Amino acid sequence: MSDEERKPSSTVIKYLLIAIAFLATMVCSAVVSIFVYKTIMEKKSEATVDQEIVTKENIAFDEFTIYPLAEKGMVKFKINAEVNDVKVKDYLDKKKPAVRDIITRGVMMFKIEEIKKIYQNEDLHKSIQKELNLIIGDNIKVESSFLGGQKKKKFLVVKVNVYDFSAMTME
């Protein structure tokens, strides 16, 4: 009689183990599906980031007075940066000392004539814009939903205006 009692209980245990394995497989596949869906949506939203960038805010920096290392002279100018979001303006306001340092270091490496030429070709504007966008990088975050339903927004400096520019050599 003990053999007959063990047989039904062993078959019940087999069915329970099969059911548990099936449920574990279903849970694992659901987790993997959610992960795959989330990564696909992130890649899709990165690909569909709006290429049309609109200027929303302006940020003005104090006057830069830079003394080049290559020769005795002085360069003065002011910068106005057009950004595409208020968050960028706030972030750059917090990072103004770092921005001033990076721009100063970049400009002081040139000679006065080189700086004048770079300014006239608007390469100075582009290089400052590039440096500002490197500072911003991916440091500004947007809250997104669990399944990645929100589009990612690219935060950046749209345009840099350099004005009140003067460069002179001193002897």
57-169 has CATH 3.30.479 classification: yes
pLDDT digits (tens, 9 = 90+) for 129-165: 999 999 888 777 776 655 555 556 788 889 999 999 9
Query: Each residue of 89-121: pLDDT tens digit?
Result: 999 999 999 999 999 999 999 999 999 999 999
Q: Are 136 and 88 in contact (CB under 8 A)?
A: yes
**What gap in Å lies between CA 91 and CA 74, rounded to an integer?**
29
pLDDT band at 85, cuts 50/70/90?
Answer: confident
pTM above 0.75, yes or no: no
pLDDT at position 103 is 93
Q: Quick check: helix, strand or coil at residue 145?
A: coil
